[in-house]
Structure formats: structure tokens, C-alpha cells
Amino acid sequence: MRRAALLVPLCLGLSAALFAAVPAPAQELAASGIAELRFVDAAPPGRSVAERLAEIRRRIQAALVYPRLARLQKLEGEALVRFDIDADGTPRDVELFRSSGMPSLDRAARSAVEDAAPLPWVYGRLEVPVRFELDRRR
């Protein structure tokens, strides 16, 4: 027990001495001539993530080409596509995550994602629904 009581102050003293020997980042910056340290966030400045996701959905739906045969057969559905976005706005690794049940609509959904580029950058893998709905007013 007495040995343990002696070791604790000794360890604390050694760690304090080690930290005192290492200059603080602010001291290093001042010595190197850099005025201040600035932190950079991973999110780009500007619009929020929710706004960028809404823009991505809007652009994909706008780029959607309804397959002619599916339109004639009055086929409707929703496909869920999954992809990443490169820093330049190019969709990458576009895959069908959930089928609409009709291969022609699924192919059109994947094509719409690629045709909608450039897209606003968002970090991570996205899952975006692509809806195929016929205009009932016509």
C-alpha cells in the first residue's frame, strides 16, 4: 500500500514534466509566424444538408425520362436508388436498392440519377426514391 502511495505522485510528476516539455499548438503557431488557427468543417458553406437533399431529389425527378412503353401501359411505381456523390457533383456507384417491380422503370431511375449531374455534394451514401407517376389530368 505504501509503494502505491509513492508511485502515484511520481507518475503525476513525470507526466506533468513531459507535457511541459511539449510546446502548446498556439506557441508553435506563434513561433512559426502563423497568426491564428482556423478549424475547417467538413460541410461546405452555404445551403443546409436538407436543402441540398431536396435539390438532389428535384434534379433527379426533372431528369427522369418516363419509358414510352411503360407510359403506354400506364405503369407507375417507385424505385429506390442508392449512390454517392463525388466532390465534382458526379453520382458514383449508382445501384438499384429497391425495385419498382418493372425493369424498364428501374433502368430509367438509374439513368435519371446519372443524367441529373452535377448534383450538390452531400457526404455519405444516399438513398433517393424515384417516382413514376402519370399525370391524371390528361
pLDDT of residue 55: 96
pLDDT at 12: 47
Taking the chain (138 residues) in runs of 10, the rounded mean pLDDT of each run is 50 46 50 48 72 96 96 95 96 96 96 97 94 77
Predicted local confidence at residue 46, as pLDDT: 79
CATH of 49-132, one of 3.40.1350.10, 1.10.1740.10, 1.10.3720.10, 3.30.1150.10: 3.30.1150.10
Where does the chain hold its CATH 3.30.1150.10 domain(s)? Answer: 49-132
What pLDDT is recorded for position 47? Answer: 84
pTM, two decimal places? 0.65
DSSP state letters, the chain:
-HHHHHHHHHHHHHHHHHHHHSPPHHHHHHHHT--------SSPSSS-HHHHHHHHHHHHHHH----HHHHHTT--EEEEEEEEE-TTS-EEEEEEEE--S-HHHHHHHHHHHHHT-S----SS-EEEEEEE---TT-
